[in-house]
Amino acid sequence: MLTIEGFKQALRNAQSEIEANKDILTDLDRAIGDGDHGINMSRGFEAVVAILDDDYATLGELSKKVGMTLMSKIGGAAGPLYGSAFVKAAPKFENAIEADFALVKEALAEASSAIKNRGKSEVGQKTMVDVWEPFLSDLQASDNFDAKLDELVKATEDMRATKGRASYFGENSRGTIDPGAMSSSIILKAILKEVE
């Protein structure tokens, strides 16, 4: 079950993992982008942690507030993507004070399609969609979430980017993990850990 407290804990854990991996995210984005992903994600999740001391009546209310906060604080391409993910997941959690695995999966599927729609991207373009969509497509409660996510992140390394700033690097975009794929896996791991 994911409770409101559990969701808050997941976001706090995501923040500390992002902080711990800030330089790696920055280096990856420097290789195939503009080098701001670590800093942007760090700023966004620090702002999220700051709103967690407030009271929320439902998971939906919290998810919406998280999304609005990320949208205004992350900046770059990732801000609207992660922001809309949490905002669009919120209606699934609307009246819920806790969510079982099936409901969490439904909310994450909404988040995934929000990212796809906002980014106008498909699987195989070396973006965070390459984590979200395959991860959710056949997700079971019994899965080893971390191993599955690690595998999907690793798979972006050999891909050629055809979307976003990384696409300007053409063939040279191969050989670097997509930074958005990595930050996505950090967030998904943190949430699913609290559902278990």
> Is 60 a binder of Mg ion (CB under 5 A)?
no
> Is 164 a binder of Mg ion (CB under 5 A)?
no
Tell me which amino acid residue 113 is. S
Are 71 and 60 in contact by the 8 Å Cβ rule? The answer is: no
Q: Give whichever of 81 and 96 is closer to Mg ion, judged by the CB atom.
A: 81
Residue tagged 């395959």 (tokens): 134
Closest approach of Cβ 138 to Mg ion, in Å?
Answer: 30
Distance (Å, whole) CA 149 – CA 59: 24
Residues 6+ apart with CB under 8 A from 112: 85, 129, 132, 133, 136
Contact stretch for Mg ion (CB under 5 A) within 24-32, 46-54, 142-150, 170-178: 24-32
Structure tokens at 8: 């808050």
Contact stretch for Mg ion (CB under 5 A) within 12-20, 70-78, 115-123, 138-146: 70-78
Position of minimal CB gap to Mg ion: 33
> Is 29 a binder of Mg ion (CB under 5 A)?
yes
Distance (Å, whole) CA 68 – CA 50: 13
Number of residues in contact with Mg ion, rule: CB under 5 A?
6
Residue ranges binding Mg ion (CB under 5 A) = 29, 33-34, 36-37, 76
